[in-house]
Amino acid sequence: MDIVSLFNKLNDKQREAVVAKDSHVLVLAGAGSGKTRVLTHRVIWLKMIKNYSSSSIMAVTFTNKASLEMKSRINALIGDFSKGMWIGTFHGFAYCLLRSHYLDSNLPKNFQIIDRNDQICLLTKSIRYLGLDEKKWQPNSAVCFISDKKNKSSLFPNVDGRSSKSEITWLNIYKVYQNMCDRAGLVDFDELLCRLYNLLLNNPAILAYYRNKFVNILVDEFQDTNKMQYNCLYLLLGEKSNVMIVGDDDQSIYSWRGAQVDNIYRFISDFSSTRIIRLEQNYRSTNNILQTANTLISYNQNRIAKKLWSTEGKGKTVSLYRAVNELDEAYFVINCIKAWQQKGGLLNNCAILYRSNIQSLVLERVLLHSKIPYKIWGGSIRFFERQEIKNMFAYLRLIINKSDDVAYERILNVPPRGIGKRTLDLVRNISITDQLTLWESTKNLLNNTKLKTRIFRVLQDFITLINFLSEEIEQLSLFDQIDLVIKETGLFCFYKQMQGSKSTLCIESFKEILDAAHRFDQNYENRSDNISVLRDFVSYYLLENDKDYRSSELFSDLDSVNLMTLHASKGLEFSQVFIVGMEEGIFPSQMSLLGEKQVEEERRLAYVGITRAMHSLTISYAENRFIYGKAIICKVSRFINELPKECISNVFFSN
């Protein structure tokens, strides 16, 4: 492979970033500027030109999907090269280190990760245990409270004199929840990072080892990192570290889930020698679209200036449509799409973007009336949220860790065994009274309580089944382990007996997970025993399921219009883009009008939407709109008034 010719395909700024010799580099990568190309070529340069070992390279991506794409691109360019280096997410990195240092992290060896649904289940139990009103003290609010505390590195928060009555109650819920997790060996996503931070902070020898190991660190989508991720990265950076962060403060749109755009500015402040390289050449959009985006985002005060440009020419002006109401708006957009289709354009190349999911309803109605196929991104149940897959994983989790109360409750009566609420309440009461796991409570119940013969037999059979599977899987491959569990637990027969398409979908889900297990097993590197492979497989997919997927594989291959929120559109591109509902109170949203910081994030969201368009962009707003059953006179969004007039053309509805 001619490495020189490989780098010659980069533009000047991309090449400058790839070969930068500075210890701290910020690549300010504008939309569509080729940041993934820079990251992959940087890794190749470190290995092939600078002769760093693969094990010295750590690349952190936002999703596992992104890490797989990076590995694939590297291997496609120079062969099977990515082995030995660490490429993955922050949560994946935390999981690996906590597995390796579970004793130093005060965790059991077989600890398991729980997702948000499992958190809700445990928090509901915690709130009920404390005898609180569930309408006032809601589990979803508790998740947010606990997440905030853990993102401030507080695993065991204390009540102090400054705590309000409300905060004291939330802290009590937190403590009960955390005790349940600790007793069962369960770790939520925020706790992964919190424990990683504390592991590195409190163990100098471990920290020194990883500082010396990972000399070259690359972080993608840095604008989406939260406080705890930044703190972990800060600890990992030693005197010999070479770190490249890649991101775009103009595309930071996830503050509602903890992302902090200020992390980019904080990095520059913490490492004053940071070299900033701007990637401003856009390979996606025409210049009229880019100038529209540039002008809009320039109204944000807190940003690092950049100006996107393209060699694609000016292109069409951006169309602006003023609708009478939301129905008029929908018909206008769909008629534009019809005209595009009649000229030979594909529906797949069209996207309608909106601020809130509720806006899709009228659009769907008109699409259905017009007999135009469409798909809603993010509207389908994600694969790992399907009931049959959640049940199968619950069995695997309980087999690995008998203390997993969430898994126990989920599958105790799946398939149905005739175990009713009264029996489960009996087990729960013993668990609460004696501070035992549900598994231990069941064994105590069988040994010390006179039960009806049928209930005794059913509970005993359940315990025997799990113990049998625990022993049998030790000698099996990952594929055979999961195949055995699906069949021996009765899940396969249970779902096969269902009526119609539901049965087919469930059976196909099992086949898909078996294929995934086979692929995972083939690529698994750190094999010590068969149980560790199974444990890591379960954790890998629980981590993967936490991401905000936009999985096109869930949809049919039918040529269809794409409907999605502006948040869901990030990272995508379409030839024709329609942004609807550009009105004050809708976009920017009503909640964001409370402060300039929130308005700036809404403006960044508009910027993201605009830069999804390759050749044609249409923005619309309505004079009147029904919102929650009330007719509202709308005010045009401030963002429309901030668009460059020379790039905009007003258009009018025509049938």
Please check the confidence at residue 523 and state whether its pLDDT lies above 60. Answer: yes
Contact of 654 with 336, CB cutoff 8 Å: no
Average pLDDT over residues 376-399: 82
Residue type, 214: F
pLDDT of residue 385: 74
What are the pLDDT digits (tens) for 439-487? 999 998 898 777 788 889 999 999 999 999 999 999 899 999 999 999 9
Mean pLDDT of the residues in the chain: 89
pLDDT of residue 629: 57
Among residues 115, 118, 190, 221, the one annotated as catalytic is 221
What is the rounded distance in angstroms from the CA atom of residue 409 to the CA atom of residue 378?
Answer: 28
What is the rounded distance in angstroms from the CA atom of residue 609 to the CA atom of residue 36?
Answer: 20
Could you confirm whether 221 is annotated as catalytic? yes
Contact of 545 with 384, CB cutoff 8 Å: yes
Distances (CA, A) of 285 to 28, 61, 220, 581, 601: 18, 25, 22, 22, 22
- Using DSSP's 3-state secondary structure scheme, residue 243 falls into strand
pLDDT of residue 548: 42
Task: Compute, in degrees rounded to 10, the torsion defined by CA atoms 471, 474, 479, 485.
Answer: 10
For residue 508 the two structure tokens come to 């196909």
Sign of the dihedral defined by the CA atoms of residues 197, 199, 200, 201, in that order: positive
Q: From 594, 580, 596, select the one nearest 637 (Cα to Cα).
A: 580
Comparing 43 with 592, the larger pLDDT belongs to 43
**What is the residue whose two structure tokens read 């010295």?**
56
What are the pLDDT digits (tens) for 341-357? 999 999 999 999 999 88
Please check the confidence at residue 573 and state whether its pLDDT lies above 80. Answer: yes
Among residues 36, 124, 341, 387, the one annotated as catalytic is 36
What are the pLDDT digits (tens) for 156-208? 666 666 778 888 999 999 999 999 999 889 999 999 999 999 999 999 999 99
Question: 81: pLDDT confidence band, cut at 50, 70 and 90?
Answer: low
What is the rounded distance in angstroms from the CA atom of residue 29 to the CA atom of residue 32?
Answer: 8
Q: Which domains does the chain have, with CATH numbers?
A: 3-97+196-279 (3.40.50.300), 112-184 (1.10.10.160), 287-381+554-651 (3.40.50.300), 383-545 (1.10.486.10)
DSSP 533-570: HHHHHHHHHHHHHTS----GGGS-SS--EEEEETGGGT
Contact of 168 with 159, CB cutoff 8 Å: yes
DSSP 446-467: HHHS---HHHHHHHHHHHHHHH
pLDDT of residue 277: 97
What are the pLDDT digits (tens) for 590-603? 888 878 899 999 99
Among residues 119, 178, 251, 286, the one annotated as catalytic is 251
Please check the confidence at residue 32 and state whether its pLDDT lies above 70. Answer: yes
pLDDT of residue 653: 59
What are the pLDDT digits (tens) for 225-251? 999 999 999 999 988 899 999 999 999
pLDDT of residue 628: 58
Residue type, 316: K
Q: Which residues face 354 on adjacent strands?
A: 565
Question: 556: pLDDT confidence band, cut at 50, 70 and 90?
Answer: very low
Q: Which residues of 606-628 are buried (b: 16+ CB within 10 A; e: fewer)?
A: bbbbbbbbbbbbbbbbbbebeee
Among residues 71, 195, 612, 625, the one annotated as catalytic is 612
**What is the tally of helices (H) and strands (E) in the chain?**
26, 17
Question: 578: pLDDT confidence band, cut at 50, 70 and 90?
Answer: very high
Comparing 424 with 27, the larger pLDDT belongs to 27
DSSP 8-state assignment for residue 381: P
Could you confirm whether 612 is annotated as catalytic? yes
Question: 66: pLDDT confidence band, cut at 50, 70 and 90?
Answer: confident
What are the pLDDT digits (tens) for 299-316? 999 999 999 999 989 999
Average pLDDT over residues 368-394: 82
DSSP 8-state assignment for residue 298: T
First to last CA, the chain: 57
Could you confirm whether 220 is annotated as catalytic? yes
Helix ranges restricted to H, 315-369: 326-342, 360-369
Among residues 13, 35, 42, 397, the one annotated as catalytic is 35
What is the rounded distance in angstroms from the CA atom of residue 101 to the CA atom of residue 114?
Answer: 19
**What is the residue whose two structure tokens read 């955390």?**
178
What is the rounded distance in angstroms from the CA atom of residue 123 to the CA atom of residue 192?
Answer: 18
For residue 25 the two structure tokens come to 């580099």
Residue type, 47: K
Please check the confidence at residue 339 and state whether its pLDDT lies above 50. Answer: yes
pLDDT of residue 233: 95
**What is the residue whose two structure tokens read 């029996």?**
423
Question: 655: pLDDT confidence band, cut at 50, 70 and 90?
Answer: very low
Question: 380: pLDDT confidence band, cut at 50, 70 and 90?
Answer: low
Query: Which is it for strands 574-579 and 350-354: parallel, antiparallel or unpaired?
Result: parallel
pLDDT of residue 463: 94
What is the rounded distance in angstroms from the CA atom of residue 64 to the CA atom of residue 472?
Answer: 31
Least confident of 79-93, 245-259, 574-588: 79-93
Q: Which residues have CB under 8 Å from 363's CB, separation 6+?
A: 330, 333, 334, 352, 354, 563, 580
Among residues 115, 188, 190, 220, the one annotated as catalytic is 220
Please check the confidence at residue 609 and state whether its pLDDT lies above 80. Answer: yes
pLDDT of residue 552: 35
* φ, ψ for residue 173, nearest 5 deg: -60, -45
Order of strands, edge to edge, in the sheet holding 242-247?
86-89, 57-61, 216-219, 242-247, 24-29, 275-279
Q: From 536, 399, 529, select the one nearest 471 (Cα to Cα).
A: 399
R_g of the chain, CA atoms, integer Å? 27
In the chain, the percentage of residues whose pLDDT exceeds 90 is 62
Put residue 246 in one of left, alpha, beta given phi > 0 → left and psi -120 to 50 → alpha.
beta
Please check the confidence at residue 136 and state whether its pLDDT lies above 70. Answer: yes
Q: Which residues face 279 on adjacent strands?
A: 29
Average pLDDT over residues 401-411: 92
Contact of 233 with 219, CB cutoff 8 Å: yes
